[in-house]
Amino acid sequence: MPIQKLSPNFEASVGVEANNYQYNGIELVEDFGLHVNNALYRTLEPQTGRWWQIDPMAEKFYAWSPYNSNLDNPILLNDPKGDCPLCPLVIGAVVGFSVDLAFQVGANIHEGGVKNAFSRIDRTSLAMSTAAGALGGFAAMNIKTLGVTATEVIGLGVSANTGIGMVESTTKQILSDNTLDGSKVVRDGIISGVTGGYGDSASHLAKEFAGESMEKALPSISINGSSEVMETTFQKIGDNLYNNQERHVPKMLENMPDQ
């Protein structure tokens, strides 16, 4: 049985809305009777399942044919641009690592000067931030292929980032401090969800008003980076407020007059 819009000879039933975003969320283009899926870097012929061009990043994936898609695993990976199915994971991991390292170096410089910039680096925190960034990229690239509206994509992204943030906070506390503060876990999860939602919203609005050309002028790594910076900043502010409260409350209790 022919799939709607897959065969040029198939006509949809009256009242059935055509779906122009099919394989991995790539748009179906029917101009001039072509009936092809037009990705940003390659064009897919859906009737034969073949790309018209080779992967522009084929030299990075020698183990696969230059005409492959999603490293031959379209269930696990997706590649809506037709260039790099692993890029969202790599970008997320790099952003997570870089932002965490930058904050640690900044704290060291603030406390002991430039010479102590790398004196105290929490490798556990770096590893967890890298893993959380990769998970965030993996979640984002799969959510966008569900065929849901932009609002639903943002909502699912908020939920995914909240969960990832809570897991990241839990793991960092246990491995780094050997403690677990449930309120901090919830707080970090909410911050991750809100800042992740900001990043998804900013990306959607930028593409809506600037079109696909925005990808060249403002790559996704810029928006991901700003979101990660916001997340870490708010978490550090929360930590400082909490620590100050812990220091001041006992002193206030000591200075209270006896009843």
pLDDT at res. 226 = 75
- 117 in the same domain as 57: no
Note whether residue 254 is domain-resident: no
What's the rounded Cα separation, in Å, for the pair 207 and 25?
A: 15
Domain boundary (44, 75, 106) is at: 75
pLDDT at res. 2 = 44
- 156 in the same domain as 217: yes
Note whether residue 225 is domain-resident: yes
Note whether residue 31 is domain-resident: yes
- 206 in the same domain as 118: yes
pLDDT at res. 150 = 66
Averaged over successive runs of 10 residues, the pLDDT of the chain (259 residues) comes to 47 61 74 80 81 82 80 74 74 86 87 85 88 82 64 81 89 84 89 82 66 51 72 79 59 53
pLDDT at res. 217 = 45
pLDDT at res. 161 = 86
pLDDT at res. 153 = 75
- 124 in the same domain as 52: no
Note whether residue 168 is domain-resident: yes
Whose tokens are 């309120």? That residue is 183
- 110 in the same domain as 65: no
CB 95 within 8 A of CB 225: yes
pLDDT at res. 246 = 56
pLDDT at res. 1 = 38
pLDDT at res. 136 = 82
What is the domain range of residue 143? Answer: 87-247
- 144 in the same domain as 44: no
- 115 in the same domain as 60: no
